[in-house]
């Protein structure tokens, strides 16, 4: 998977289309990502002790990484990611500005 934790991404489809956020979790096995403040669902948290009221909290739900584009920190554009090999090393590069990500 090309997207990594801490990447800034642009949402390109769904109800959060056009919004940006930081990847807080990348899940390569399922091809999903969790992005800060994106794809929020309300969830009731259980009261911690009896007599307390439960709270409603909003949590970010994982969604398909193909619904995002990485925002290149070098050129600040939503881009596709390519790979470059130099000897044994493999870099992620921005397809817009060709700089290492």
Q: Assess 78 for contact with Zn ion (CB under 5 A).
A: no
Select the residue interacting with Zn ion from 10, 23, 65, 72 (CB under 5 A). Answer: 72
Q: Answer yes or no: are the C-beta atoms of 26 and 3 closer than 8 Å.
A: yes
Site stretch for Zn ion (CB under 5 A), options 21-29, 33-41, 51-59, 91-99 = 91-99
**How far is residue 101's CA from residue 89's CA, in Å, rounded to a whole number?**
13
Nearer to Zn ion, 62 or 81 (CB): 81
Select the residue interacting with Zn ion from 74, 81, 82, 92 (CB under 5 A). Answer: 74
- Beta-ladder partners of 63: 33
Q: Any idea what the Cα angle at residue 46 is, between residues 45 and 50, rounded to 5°?
A: 150
Q: How many residues does the chain have?
A: 101
Nearer to Zn ion, 34 or 93 (CB): 93
Interaction site with Zn ion (CB under 5 A)? 72, 74-75, 94, 96-97
């Amino acid at each position: 998977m090309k997207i990594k934790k801490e990447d800034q991404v642009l949402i390109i489809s769904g109800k959060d289309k056009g919004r940006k956020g930081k990847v807080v979790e990348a899940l390569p096995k399922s091809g999903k990502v969790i992005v800060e403040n994106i794809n929020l669902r309300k969830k009731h948290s259980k009261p911690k002790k009896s007599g307390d009221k439960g709270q409603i909290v909003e949590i970010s739900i994982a969604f398909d990484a193909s619904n995002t584009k990485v925002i290149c920190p070098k050129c600040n554009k939503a881009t596709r990611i390519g790979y470059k090999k130099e000897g044994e090393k493999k870099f992620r590069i921005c397809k817009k500005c060709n700089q290492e990500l």
